[in-house]
Structure 1
Amino acid sequence: MSKQPPERLLELQRRFAAHLRDPEHAPAPEGIEERRLAIYRRLFFNNLSNLFARNFPVIRRLHEDADWQALIREFLAEHRSHTPMFTEIGREFVDFLERRGESDPEQAPWLAELAHWEFLETCVRLDEAEVAPDGWLESLEADDRVQVNPTLCLAEYRWPVHRIGPEFRPEQGEATLLAVYRQGNDRVAFMQVNPITARLLQLLRGDEQATAARALERLAEELERPVDELLEASRDLLATLARRGLLRRA
């Protein structure tokens, strides 16, 4: 039974896409002028390379040009994305590096986590939640009912990803908790936090009617510590979180 035109078209599209992803190993479909193919190949590769360079600027600076191009080509040839969403392509790059790290001993052990950190910054930047341009206070009392910045994301890493760059490539792991969020001026900010602060933010975010005192009482129960002690110790912390734009009066 001969193939119907839609089937032939689908096969042509698959061969064309395979060639664009991996021109060295996937032959181009017959009947397409090489000059045009070269333009498609160049545009396809450069667009993705430039997109990843903007969304993963630290990783880009860590690679020489040739190494960066080889990494992007490997992504195109080896990885199959699970979403057509353009804004989600960064997540696919994170997944690629995670799987690559499991089989490639030469990949830096912190590279996938660094990619996740950089992608998280992009997610916060694109978060549609509205952040009040003002009202993030210089101080906050325990009895105040509070609101957590709606763009807040907490992430735990085995490496100090926020410090990695051309001048610092860690050789030993360091447990790191980071809070990343968008400020009222639309700038992305981050703060390194300890597990107690992270848990406090989680408790406050999970209860819209919570006061700082109520969340601290729950935290004291979890930690099996005196409530008064935790309330007193938290005064400077609450002020810092409010000043940094993580908490505000509801």
Structure 2
Amino acid sequence: MEDFRDTQQALTNAIVDPSVTNDIGVEQRRLNIYQELIFNNIEGFCSNAFPVLKSILEQSIWESYVRQFLISGEKSSPYFVDIAEQFLDFITQTQTQTQTQTQTQTQTQTQTRLALLPQYLLELAHYEWVELNVSIQENEITDNDWQVDSNLIVPNSTWALGYQYPVHTISKQMLQSAGHTNNTEQATEIEPLDTFLIVYQDTDGDVAFMTTNAITAHLVNYIDECSVYAQHNGVEGSAESLTTLSALERYFQQVQPGTDSKVIKNFLTEAISDFVQRGVLVID
């Protein structure tokens, strides 16, 4: 049994890594077919999840990421969205990995290339993964008749995000027009710009996004934190809801002590009313 497992592992290693010597008794022509099928399958998942990132990177750099992910990345789920998340984790983690003397020269060269992605591309990859995650969620919109005493929750299809770069505008065309090459070894950083986005499903179930500011993104995240707290502590249905208009007013008066209470109330009323209509927030 142990010999069989060793043979299975050797075959797996040879399939995912063409640089491994074929000493397992499999005809090279057949092994090449297996290698191509597995690589193309994983590459297809990754390119569908990160189309903009792929279009920006040189083909050799993109394929080296996919190949190294296939060799050493965590792949604990066969589901498309999970593979995309694990690929995102992999390319993020490889930026800080150090080389060891036990790696082969080929692996060292690959890892060196993998470590060259600029920060704006890492943020772009995260943004693309969020869009994918939002797209597969069930539409939770049931009622948009918001009242001041309504209890609000953030559906799984809503993400309030903050980035150092305007990820929603990054594309191959944008970088080329700005004088950047798609070769990440030569590309310099684009100009940072604090960017706040809300990605959500609209009332038709389509993925949408809106640009916003830090305080509005904080509003969405705070409501989400309140919902999690209420679920864990049995607060739902109590007289003192955490996400009614009055409760949110009190909270923002604490975090914005110098702001007029009328300004806070108007901000919350307008933002919440708009978000409920869009599907960013839903009524519990």
SS at match of 1:189: strand
SS at match of 1:121: helix
Decide whether the 8 Å contact of 1:20 with 1:44 is kept in 2.
Answer: yes
Query: Alpha carbon RMSD of aligned pairs, Å?
Result: 2.5
Runs of 4+ in 1 over 6 A off after TM superposition: none
CA distance in 1, matches of 2:208, 2:282: 16
| Counterpart position of 2:264 | 230
SS at match of 2:157: coil
Query: What is the TM-score with the length of structure 1 in the denominator?
Result: 0.82
SS at match of 1:101: coil
Q: Which amino acid aligns with 2:121?
A: L
| Counterpart position of 1:3 | none
Query: What is the TM-score with the length of structure 2 in the denominator?
Result: 0.73
Residues 138-217 of structure 1 aligned to structure 2 (within 5 Å): 142-169=148-175, 171-205=190-224, 206-207=226-227, 209=241, 210-217=243-250
Q: Which amino acid aligns with 2:76?
A: T
Q: Which runs of 5+ in 1 are unaligned?
A: 1-5
Residues 27-46 of structure 1 aligned to structure 2 (within 5 Å): 27-46=21-40
Percent identical pairs in the alignment equals 25
Is residue 22 of structure 1 aligned with residue 17 of structure 2? yes
Q: Which runs of 5+ in 2 are unaligned?
A: 98-111, 176-188, 228-235
The structure-2 alpha-carbon separation of the partners of 1:157 and 1:217, relative to structure 1 and needing over 3 Å to count, comes to: same
Residues 36-115 of structure 1 aligned to structure 2 (within 5 Å): 36-77=30-71, 79-81=72-74, 83-86=76-79, 87-102=81-96, 104=112, 106-115=116-125
CA distance in 1, matches of 2:170, 2:163: 12
Aligned residues: 239
Q: Which amino acid aligns with 1:111?
A: L
1:71 shift after superposition: 2.9
